[in-house]
DNA sequence: AGTCCTTCTTAAAGGTTGTAAGCAACTGAT
DNA sequence: ATCAGTTGCTTACAACCTTTAAGAAGGACT
């Protein structure tokens, strides 16, 4: 038989494309083998098992996302940077839902550290450079930003906003306005109850 | 053979418990049948297929979450309400990770409407009663709050915050402070770039 | 050509979902 | 109390997926 030229890299790439088309959970060794015109067992020469494949796709997605975000961030600061980063994040997730789902995979500590996950935190920190936040608050803000971006995109994609007529685009923009506002005026200490 | 007394309700309940123990994705018809001491095929008398089972667990989780949130909200307003709701949400997710994962299932429009999903929006709106937001902004704020809660809990549970020493508890509280602050002072129109 | 490593196939075991046929148990009527 | 009907469960089976093992074929290098 002529060799199909399968490599771990091509498998990962094809798995990512397949994930965007049919969903990350539906990417199987069998389906991937079919796409390459080989038998399922052939893939085990290049990939340890399906979990290994999933982790490779996750790393690919994290790297791609980090690159888009870095590009979006270049030469911007303050709210410009915030909006550009957030839009790049959301655009990637919507364009590559399978990859984005992969990026949410639980990675063990070692894997996560040497993957692009750390770069994300650094970039989110870069956004905050335009706002003036002392150190523990900076980490809190990074976590809040990441949470809001991920949460919004995640709920939007799973249809959580479809029950209300309000434009999802508009809400996204107003959410970014709100984040900008709160970053410019980060609460100093735990306040009491609101009094309007 | 003596009958095992399987019903759709008991199956759903057991599936939810199993999901919390071994993960929602690992709840299989086979595993559930094993837990009931019956053969897998027996479950198909009570449940259409595995997707049907998953949807039932999702609805259960949404109903439980709504109930906890409603209890937390009772008799509170303003920041008290915000914090109580958010903590109830997060506590449920951490105590019942499998159920919480189920609640994130994509539900078709019909299913979502008659499930407790709508109640969540209403409750989040109830939180906002203490803050004074005009109508389109209210929806935007609801979406932002839900996004932040879900995003934070989701990232926290998938280990996204483990790479930084800062206390996850502290960040959560500061995030709630920030949300309270931005709700009290919701930006009126899309502002320009930040100027510090 | 011969050797060796790698890639791919075949074969097979074990797990999963789901359907169909049949038997066993409970129900309610006579 | 027995008999029919319904329901719940089992067995049997088809189809699919994952993974391992053994062997054949491709390509490189001597």
DSSP label at A108? P
Residues in CB range of B1: below 8 A, 6 or more apart: none
**What pLDDT does B2 receive?**
63
Which window residues (5-44, chain A) lie with Cβ within 7 Å of strand D? Answer: 28-31, 40-41, 44
Contact B106 A185 (CB under 8 A): no
Cα–Cα distance for residue pair A178/A170, rounded to 1 Å = 12
Contact B79 A191 (CB under 8 A): yes
The nucleotides of chain D lying under 7 Å from a protein CB are 7-12, 16-22, 25-27
**What pLDDT does B142 receive?**
95
Nucleotide nearest to B31 (CA to C1'): C16
**What pLDDT does B196 receive?**
39
Dihedral over Cα of B118, B119, B121, B125: its sign? positive
**What pLDDT does B100 receive?**
96
Q: Residue range A102-108: average pLDDT?
A: 83
**What pLDDT does B188 receive?**
83
Average pLDDT, chain A: 91
**What pLDDT does B190 receive?**
57
Q: Is B191 within 8 Å of chain A by CB?
A: yes
Q: Is A71 within 8 Å of chain B by CB?
A: no
**What pLDDT does B116 receive?**
74
Query: Per the structure block, which two tokens stand in for A164?
Result: 């209300």
**What pLDDT does B194 receive?**
44
Kindly list the residues from chain A whose CB atom is less than 8 angstroms away from the CB atom of residue B103.
Answer: none
Q: What is the mean pLDDT of each run of 10 residues along chain B (196 residues)?
A: 81 98 97 97 96 95 94 95 98 97 81 72 89 93 96 91 92 98 88 48
Q: Which of A98, A106, A111 is nearest to A57 (CA)?
A: A98
Cα–Cα distance for residue pair B99/B18, rounded to 1 Å = 9
Residue A5 has pLDDT above 90, yes or no: no
From the Cβ of B30, is strand D under 7 Å away? no
Residue A196 has pLDDT above 50, yes or no: no
**What pLDDT does A105 receive?**
86
Largest Cα–Cα separation, chain B: 77
Q: Is B50 within 8 Å of chain A by CB?
A: no
Cα–Cα distance for residue pair A38/A51, rounded to 1 Å = 20
**Residue A122: CA count within 13 A, CB half-sphere:** 9
Residue A29 has pLDDT above 50, yes or no: yes
**What pLDDT does A3 receive?**
73
Q: What angle, rounded to 10 degrees, do the helices at B8-22 and B50-73 form?
A: 80
**What pLDDT does A108 receive?**
72
């Amino acid at each position: 038989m002529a060799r199909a030229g399968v490599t771990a890299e091509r498998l990962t790439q094809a798995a990512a494309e397949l994930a965007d088309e049919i969903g990350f959970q539906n990417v199987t060794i069998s389906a991937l083998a079919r796409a390459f015109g080989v038998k399922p067992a052939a893939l085990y020469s290049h990939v340890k098992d399906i979990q290994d494949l999933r982790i490779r796709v996750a790393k690919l997605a994290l790297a791609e996302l980090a690159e888009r975000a870095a590009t979006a961030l270049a030469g911007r600061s303050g709210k410009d940077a915030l909006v550009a980063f957030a839009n790049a994040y959301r655009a990637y997730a919507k364009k590559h839902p399978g990859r984005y789902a992969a990026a949410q995979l639980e990675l063990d500590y070692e894997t996560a550290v040497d993957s692009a996950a750390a770069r994300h935190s650094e970039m989110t920190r870069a956004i905050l450079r335009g706002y003036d936040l002392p150190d523990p608050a900076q980490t809190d803000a990074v976590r809040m930003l990441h949470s809001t971006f991920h949460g919004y995109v995640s709920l939007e994609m799973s249809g959580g906003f479809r029950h209300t007529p309000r434009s999802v685009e508009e809400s996204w923009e107003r959410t970014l306005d709100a984040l900008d506002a709160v970053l410019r005026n980060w609460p100093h200490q735990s306040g009491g109850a609101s009094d309007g």
